[in-house]
Structure formats: structure tokens, C-alpha cells
């Protein structure tokens, strides 16, 4: 498989597509932002004028867009890829969307003769750039086998979670835990400061102790503890707070549908929602939850 269409070149999609280009794939790229398409074209992609144009002759189509509505429009809309394409490329949606939406798009794809997987990712922009993302895949083993070589160029850990929608189910569980863990990390960094501890020193202690976690290792929410973290760049995303709120909404809706108790997820959703009401916060990295704690009790 050499000819790939890549649709959605945002914080995550751009570096993922750039890794495919570096690996020698022939990438046709589309985004509603023409400036972004031009930027990737400068690295060797073919800039496409529409999703249909990007998909022309592609053996696989990868989508990495904000939400389920955009995924449905792209694949199922009046001018959508499933109805418009003469060939039957492998469809790979890497966006984070509801498991039931992933299942319904995959079912529509299957009835039109396409194989489709949901392959949401974890790891953030840093791992996207390194090509070491985690992919959680929902779909048939055969479709995953066909996609594996491509996913390996963008990720370091690829796991088959189950049938269509299972990748998304794993992703919403992971992201709810990430939201809770980031808020908890921010909470104790502020508590430590109020006890006279340097946040960098406290972070180093917790990294080697039972409170150690992914965010202390790679995404510290306190400014200037990690020079490359969003917190040290004015909370430039990274992973936008608005996207984390979307994922918490997906997780809470899903929990309600399954009768699962998620009190910590619900509390995290309230905290991020309060922070997002501040000017411009939705586009900031979700680690900006840190500043909510500086106000005190």
C-alpha cells in the first residue's frame, strides 16, 4: 500500500501525515484550512482541494478530525466518501468519537463494500511527532492486518481492542483517566507550593514515587518544569481543553447508557468546564487546569 489520503491536518494529523511522508508514502492531504495543506505540501504531500480529491486513487484513507459529526459528514454525507468513491480503499478513522458512531459509520461502509477500522490514538503531539503513538483498534483482524504497516509508521503500540467501536470505547476510558490524572497532578502541585515546595522538586519526587504518572513524565502542568510541555509555552495545545471536554462528554454519555458509576469523571468534567469559560481557554492545552487551583479553596 503506497498511496494514502490523509484528511484532517491539525495538531495530531499534521505530524502523523508528515511521518508517512518521511516513510516514503505518497500522501494526498486535505484539510478545511488551506494554509495547513500548503504547509504539508511543502514537505512533499500532494495538496488536495476536497476530501474526494484527496481520496482519488488512494489505497487507504486516514481521517483525523475533531468529532463524530465531521466524521459522519466526511464518510456518510451527501457528497461523502462512501457514496462517491469508485474504488474500495481501506478506511481508517483515527479521530476520537463515540463508539456507537464508529459502529454506525463502519456498518454503512461495510454495506457499501469497504473495510473500516476505528483507530483512535493516545500520546499527544509529542508522540505523534516521534511516531510513537498508541493505536487502539476496533474492527476485523483482517482490516487491522491490512492497516498495520501504516499504523507502525505513526505509532509504537498497536493493540486490537475488539470489533468496530472497541477502539473508541478504550479511548474514552483512557481519556477520562487522563483528565482525572491531570487534574489530580495539578491539584497536588498547588498544594505542594503552598507548603513551600518547588513544583519541579515535588514533580521529581513523585515521578519516582507511587504518585508517578504520564503527565509528571511528559506533560507537567506547571510552567517551566518541562521546557517542551505546553505549560511552558503559555499552554499552547497540545491537546485542546475543548477536545478534552468533548471526550469527557463522550465518556459520561457512554457511562449513562451502560449504567456505570463515574463520579470522578463527572467531577473532572465540571472542573474543566469551569476553566473553559475563561477567555480563549477552549483552545489552550488541557493542562491549563493548573491555573484553576491557584485561586485557592
Give the residue numbers marked as catalytic.
171
Taking the least distance from each CB to ligand NAD, the nearer of 222 and 239 is 239
Q: Does 154 bind ligand NAD (CB under 6 A)?
A: no
Q: Given candidates 64, 151, 179, 289, which one binds ligand NAD under the rule CB under 6 A?
A: 64
Q: Compute the C-alpha angle 282/259/72, nearest 5°.
A: 50
Question: At its nearest, how many Å lie between ligand NAD and the CB of residue 74?
Answer: 6
Q: Count of residues binding ligand NAD (CB under 6 A)?
A: 26
Please enumerate in sequence order all residues whose Cβ is within 8 A of that of 232, keeping only pairs 6 or more positions apart, or say none.
223, 224, 225, 226
Cis peptide preceding 238, ω within 30 of 0: yes
Q: Does 37 bind ligand NAD (CB under 6 A)?
A: no
Pairing of β 60-63 and β 90-93: parallel
Q: Which stretch binds ligand NAD (CB under 6 A): 2-10, 145-153, 223-231, 268-276?
A: 2-10
Q: Residue with CB nearest ligand NAD?
A: 10
* Nearest of 174, 181, 10 to residue 99 by alpha carbon: 174
Interaction mask 189-228, ligand NAD, x per CB under 6 A: ----------------------------------------
Taking the least distance from each CB to ligand NAD, the nearer of 199 and 230 is 230
Q: Does 155 bind ligand NAD (CB under 6 A)?
A: no
Q: Does 150 bind ligand NAD (CB under 6 A)?
A: no
Q: Which stretch binds ligand NAD (CB under 6 A): 10-18, 20-28, 189-197, 253-261?
A: 10-18
Q: Given candidates 4, 7, 136, 170, which one binds ligand NAD under the rule CB under 6 A?
A: 7
Q: Does 15 bind ligand NAD (CB under 6 A)?
A: no
Instruction: Go through 13-44 and write b for each residue having 16 or more CB atoms within 10 A of its CB, e for each that does not.
Output: bbbbbbbbbeeebebbbbbeeeebbebbbeee
Tracing cell 481519556 back to the chain, one arrives at 175
Virtual torsion, Cα 137, 142, 147, 152, nearest 10 deg: 70
Virtual torsion, Cα 22, 28, 32, 33, nearest 10 deg: 40
Q: Does 106 bind ligand NAD (CB under 6 A)?
A: no
- Which chain residues interact with ligand NAD by CB under 6 A? 7-13, 30-33, 36, 64-66, 70, 74, 95-96, 121-122, 124-125, 239, 243, 247
Amino acid at each position: 500500500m503506497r498511496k494514502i489520503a490523509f484528511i484532517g491536518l491539525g495538531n495530531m494529523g499534521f505530524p502523523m501525515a508528515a511521518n508517512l511522508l518521511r516513510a516514503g508514502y505518497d500522501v494526498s492531504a486535505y484539510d478545511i484550512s488551506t494554509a495547513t495543506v500548503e504547509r504539508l505540501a511543502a514537505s512533499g504531500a500532494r495538496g488536495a482541494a476536497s476530501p474526494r480529491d484527496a481520496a482519488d486513487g488512494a489505497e487507504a484513507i486516514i481521517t483525523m478530525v475533531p468529532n463524530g459529526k465531521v466524521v459522519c459528514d466526511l464518510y456518510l454525507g451527501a457528497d461523502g466518501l462512501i457514496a462517491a468513491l469508485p474504488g474500495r480503499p481501506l478506511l481508517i478513522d483515527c479521530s476520537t468519537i463515540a463508539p456507537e458512531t464508529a459502529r454506525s459509520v463502519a456498518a454503512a461502509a461495510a454495506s457499501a463494500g469497504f473495510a473500516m477500522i476505528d483507530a483512535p490514538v493516545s500520546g499527544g503531539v509529542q508522540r505523534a511527532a516521534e511516531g510513537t503513538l498508541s493505536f487502539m483498534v476496533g474492527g476485523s483482524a483482517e482490516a487491522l492486518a491490512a492497516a498495520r504497516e501504516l499504523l507502525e509508521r505513526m505509532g509504537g503500540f498497536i493493540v486490537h481492542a475488539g470489533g468496530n467501536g472497541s477502539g473508541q470505547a478504550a479511548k474514552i476510558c483512557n481519556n477520562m483517566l487522563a483528565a482525572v490524572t491531570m487534574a489530580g497532578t495539578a491539584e497536588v502541585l498547588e498544594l505542594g507550593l503552598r507548603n513551600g515546595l518547588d513544583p519541579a522538586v515535588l514533580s521529581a519526587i513523585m515521578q519516582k514515587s507511587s504518585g508517578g504518572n504520564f503527565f509528571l513524565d511528559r506533560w507537567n502542568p506547571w510552567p517551566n518544569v518541562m521546557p517542551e510541555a505546553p505549560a511552558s509555552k503559555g499552554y499552547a495545545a497540545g491537546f485542546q481543553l475543548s477536545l478534552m471536554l468533548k471526550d469527557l462528554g463522550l465518556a459520561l454519555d457512554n457511562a449513562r447508557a451502560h449504567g456505570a458509576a463515574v463520579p470522578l469523571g463527572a467531577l473532572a468534567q465540571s472542573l474543566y468546564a469551569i476553566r473553559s469559560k475563561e477567555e480563549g481557554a477552549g483552545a489552550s492545552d488541557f493542562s491549563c487546569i493548573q491555573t484553576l487551583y491557584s485561586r485557592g479553596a
